[in-house]
Amino acid sequence: MEFTELIMTPKLNGVILHSPFHEPLDGTLCITGHHLILSSRKDDAQELWLLHHSIDSIEKIQHSASLQKGGSIILKCKDFRILRLDIAQPNEFHNIYRSLDRLANLDKPELLYPFFYRPMYDILEEGHMLFNPEIEFTNLITTDEWRVSHVNRNYAICNTYSATVIVPKTIDDDVIIAATTFREGGRFPLLSYRHENGAVLLRTSQPLLNNNNRRCKADEKILNAVLGPYKKGYIIDTRSIAYVNSCKGKGGGTEPEGYYMQWKKVFKPLDKISKCDGSLVDNFLKLIDVCNDVNTSWDKWLSRLEASNWLTHIQNCLNTACLGAQCLDKDGASVVVHGTSGLDTTLIVTSTTQMILNPDCRTIRGFQALVEREWLQAGHPFQARHLKCYTDSKSKRQQPTFLVFLDCVYQLHYQFPCSFEFKTDMLIILFEHSYFSQFGTFLGNCEAERVQMEVHKKTTSLWSYLNRPDVLTSLLNPLYEPNRLPIWPSVAPVSLVLWTELYMRLATNNLKYWILDRAEERACRLLARLGSELGPSGGPLSLFQSNLCSFHQGTYTKWDSQTTPPADAVVRTKNQPSTYIATARAWLLQASISRWIIDPVYNKVALLKTQKIQQQLQDLEVGQVK
């Protein structure tokens, strides 16, 4: 099929573009096979280059009932932009709409832009081959416990796993083949991560019991080989008991306890994500709607945010990941995670668990490896899940599972800003490229499909681009201090924040400032009450207040960690007004080791005053000071 067959009007003058934060632009619209381009052909004017695949939905609005007039085309994009094209000519109006609708919904992945994109820079390393399992697990396969298996060489036993898998050395390939018949989709228990104490994290899918509680000795052998004699492990089932019973009626279920005596089963209900029935998409749509609502009161806005249940999903996923991390780190027990298909909640939990425990995953290279290993090679169906972003879709397989994981990472980054080598900008980049991209990394639903499409030969890898020195430098977190210890997040509702850098980045400035006003008002009342404790200058509280105001005025600058609060202090106050007290307390504690506090003349007095303010802030936090 030629793209010219889909483009009814390749070029049109006099099209008016309305876009966020810009004045209307009157220019020439050009439609190519992969891009919509609108330009006024003026040197200092805005120019739009929009990838067709980034369009989530298209709507047309007729200017009048008469067919003799044109209309407006509304483009809702997967990066949350909403664009409007005003077209005066009626025939061209309908032609442009039909052309964009066809080009934004191409059926064949081979027609997408990654297969036509040619980078204008040198490829320094081949990203498609960068994270081979044999390289990633080098330290493991040199031991007597694990080996490389090519039993899935042709994706015959499990079409969603990678061709190369790491399995216990005591398990031969015949046992693995037998175990695949017991798990949905053939997803036998597979290694995700080995903790430093020897405990391992595995992922799989639900067992197929066919209503008679049948057993599979091969499956039991694999799990027991991981544990060893006389050891206990945990099976975390990411479904409620009611949902498990529902699955039993369809031939699924959970492991029969009589055959898995060494394993303790824990149910953590993440049903709305596991079912993939549209519930998560509905919640996400409500979230985006409220983030763009500027005509509501503060209380109603918060109520609508809570009603979206988005942060509840994040909280439940973090809670489940923390449970898995505690079993591995505190108990030294191995953990198996599965839901139904093993493609959604399972991957969220195993990935987030590794972010908590494994410091390598909190580096740029390590995070790329984690996404490659736990999402791409593990068979998350990106093409099906990301068919649409937040608009209604006829496909029940659509949902933002990967975004839930990225949001979990954002919460960890928010609570531990110094433990990550990368900035949260990298999370936004991954979100966007997982939905639309010039790179082939997220194409297809599994490795087998990417091999069939020859993605590694015909497209450029996102990792090749991100690892270029100039791009890599822009992603580095200036606050990063390597931390080899686990990071244990708070999963209390008050500790979770809205990812405004993503969900509200295209909201109007008035809305952002309106939200910040409430935080600033409460914070400044606190600062005014306590600022005098550190002398005439106001010390750090005065500095905190001035930086907060400068951010409110749009003049945010990076703070010097030697003399000022951590860079996330203002963001905390902006995102979650109810945490401003905890933010001030946390900063004052950190300030005790800052340059002004270790001054030989001032340090003792300042330390005593800091401790006093800490206590006052703590009293305020628990409501003891009125």
Cβ partners under 8 Å of residue 230, min gap 6: none
- Of 591 and 459, the one with more pLDDT: 459
- Sign of torsion, CA 46 51 53 58? positive
For residues 340 and 210, give the distance between their C-alpha atoms in angstroms, rounded to a whole number: 14
Model pLDDT, residue 228: 77
Buried b or exposed e, range 363-402, using 16+ CB within 10 angstroms: bbbbbbbbbbbbbbbbbbbbbbbbbbbbbebeeebbbbbb
pLDDT one-digit tens code per residue, 288-328 = 998 888 777 777 888 899 999 999 999 999 999 999 999 99
Model pLDDT, residue 451: 96
Architecture of domain 3-106: Roll (2.30)
pLDDT at position 618 over 80: no
Question: How do the domains of the chain map onto residue ranges?
Answer: 3-106, 128-495, 508-621
Average of per-residue pLDDT values in the chain = 83
pLDDT one-digit tens code per residue, 558-606 = 333 333 333 343 333 344 433 444 444 444 444 433 333 333 333 444 4
Q: What is the DSSP string of 303-337?
A: HHHHHT-HHHHHHHHHHHHHHHHHHHHTS--EEEE
Residue 68: what are its φ and ψ, rounded to 5°? -85, -5
Model pLDDT, residue 220: 94
- pTM (two decimals): 0.82
- Of 525 and 111, the one with more pLDDT: 111
Model pLDDT, residue 462: 97
Model pLDDT, residue 525: 43
Please state, as a whole number, how many other Cβ atoms lie within 10 Å of the Cβ of residue 518.
15
Rg of the chain over Cα atoms, rounded to whole angstroms, equals 27
pLDDT one-digit tens code per residue, 376-435 = 999 999 999 999 998 766 667 899 999 999 999 999 999 999 999 999 999 999 999 999
Q: Which of 368, 380, 370 is nearest to 466 (CA)?
A: 368
pLDDT one-digit tens code per residue, 95-140 = 999 999 999 999 899 999 999 999 999 899 999 999 998 888 888 8
Q: How many Å separate Cα 357 from the centre of its chain?
A: 18
- Of 62 and 164, the one with more pLDDT: 164
Q: What is the mean pLDDT of residues 87-92?
A: 92
Window from 190-204, 269-283, 485-499, 582-596 with minimum mean pLDDT = 582-596
